[in-house]
Copies of this chain bind each other. A is one copy, B any other.
Amino acid sequence: MPPQEIQEIYNHNVQQVLDLTGIFVFAVAGALMAVRKNFDVIGIVLLAEVTALGGGVIRDLIIGDVPPAAFRDLGYFSTPLFAAGLVFFLHPQVERISRTIDIFDAAGLGLFCVTGTAKAFAYGLGPVQATALGITTAVGGGAIRDVLAREVPVLLRWDREIYTVPALVGAAAVAVLVETGQFNAYTATAAAIFAFAFRVLALHKGWRAPRAWRRNSEVRGDFD
């Protein structure tokens, strides 16, 4: 499929719906993290914005789409504001927050690995690079959120369920779909749902990735 055609499909069908949905759910996850860490209302808004827009801004800087969509389209910027407002007034009991963060975060992961990969293709990157950029888009905002909130990024921890693998699967699925000419709004949505379901299942079943081969785990190095 020629880049122009991809860009057309991407712009009209996929981007507007999937991207804003991803921004909304990531913003909810970021705002909930801010509530859990006891940040104030400004911190809630900032963490919502950074979580929701961080991955996409990195993606746009890398492919050279400047200023990034987040600084052009008013909807990109105001959606996290709205999500932060919702969380500020309606957040559930603090005890249940961690689980809720995980679900919203999984939805953002599924959506952004698809839109990130598709946009990278539209800007002329090869399939492997587009997949890598899709993963970057999906995990970037959450990584910035974790760094600012002084958490060890979930994507690095062995004691957490697999996080990057669902994004990798979703991004690779988009790469295959584009290369075989099967990429459209329906298959894109299916790929996003598949990556989301994969992540939720991993959380539910406790799927983990192995640590280094025969590592002597007696020694220091766990989360301090």
**B-binding residues in A (CB < 8 A):** 34-44, 46-47, 57, 61-64, 66-68, 71-72, 74, 77-78, 87-89, 91, 93-95, 120, 123, 125-126, 128-129, 132-133, 143, 147-150, 152-153, 155-158, 162-165, 208-213, 215-217, 219, 221-223
Contacts and interface: CB of A to CB of B under 8 A. Distances in A.
A66 B74 contact: no
A63 B61 CA distance: 10
Contact of A221 (B42, B88, B94): B94
Contacts of A78: 128
Nearest to A212: B35
A212 B164 CA distance: 30
Given A46-B156, A62-B66, A94-B221, 14 more contacts: A37-B221, A39-B157, A40-B209, A41-B212, A42-B165, A43-B155, A43-B209, A61-B61, A71-B129, A74-B129, A78-B128, A87-B212, A149-B152, A150-B152
Given A38-B211, A77-B129, A156 B148 contact: yes
How many copies of this kind of chain does the complex include?
Answer: 3
Contacts of A39: 156-158, 211
A68 to B, nearest CB: 6
A129 B68 CA distance: 11
